Chain A
Amino acid sequence: MAQIFRPGADTLARVVLAGIAVVPVLAVGMATTLWRSPYATAQDVTREQPVPFSHEHHVGGLGIDCRYCHTSVEKAAFAGIPPTETCMSCHSQIWTNAPMLAPVRTSLAEGRPLVWRRVHVLPDYVYFNHAVHVAKGVGCGTCHGAIQTMKLVRQVAPLTMGWCLDCHRNPGPNLRPREAVFDMTWTPPAGQAEQGTRLAAAYHVKSPARLSECSICHR
Chain B
Amino acid sequence: MTGRLLPSVLLPSLLLLGACDDLSMARQKRYDVYRRAELWSDGAEARNPPDGTVQQGALADEAALADPPPVDAALLQRGRERYEAICTPCHGLTGHGDGMIVARGFPRPPSYHEDRLRAAPARYLVDVITNGYGVMYRYANRVEPRDRWAIAAYIRALQLSQGARIAEVPGLAEKIPAEANPEGRP
Which chain A residues have a beta carbon within 8 Å of chain B's beta carbons? 62-68, 71, 77-78, 81, 83, 85-86, 88-90, 92-94, 112-113, 115, 118, 123-125, 179, 182
Contacts and interface: CB of A to CB of B under 8 A. Distances in A.
Contacts of A63: 100
Contacts of A90: 89, 101, 106
Contact of A93 (B34, B86, B105): B105
Contacts of B27: 123-124
Contacts of A66: 85
A88 B142 CA distance: 14
Tell me the dominant secondary structure on chain A's binding face: loop
A93 B42 contact: no
Contacts of A64: 89, 100
B30 interface: yes
B26 interface: yes
Contacts of B85: 65-68, 182
Contact of B84 (A65, A71, A86, A118): A65
B34 A94 contact: no
A216 to B, nearest CB: 18
- Shortest beta-carbon contacts, A-B, top 4: A123-B26, A65-B85, A124-B28, A89-B137
B6 interface: no
Contact of B32 (A85, A124, A182): A124
Contacts of A65: 84-86, 88
Interface in B1-56: 25-28, 30, 32-34, 36, 42-44
Contact of A94 (B81, B105, B136): B105
A62 B25 contact: no
Given A83-B141, A90-B89, 7 more contacts: A62-B104, A64-B89, A66-B85, A67-B85, A85-B137, A93-B106, A182-B85
A48 to B, nearest CB: 17
B69 interface: no
Contact of B25 (A81, A93, A118, A124): A124
17 contacts: A62-B101, A65-B88, A67-B85, A67-B86, A68-B86, A71-B142, A81-B34, A85-B137, A88-B137, A90-B89, A94-B106, A115-B36, A123-B25, A123-B27, A124-B27, A179-B81, A182-B85
B26 A112 contact: no
Interface in B60-94: 81, 84-86, 88-89
Contacts of B28: 124-125
B147 to A, nearest CB: 11
A134 to B, nearest CB: 13
Nearest to A124: B28
B135 interface: yes
Nearest to B24: A124
A64 B89 CA distance: 7
B184 interface: no
Contacts of A113: 42, 44
Contacts of B42: 112-113
A94 B104 contact: yes
B110 interface: no
Interface in B80-123: 81, 84-86, 88-89, 100-101, 104-107
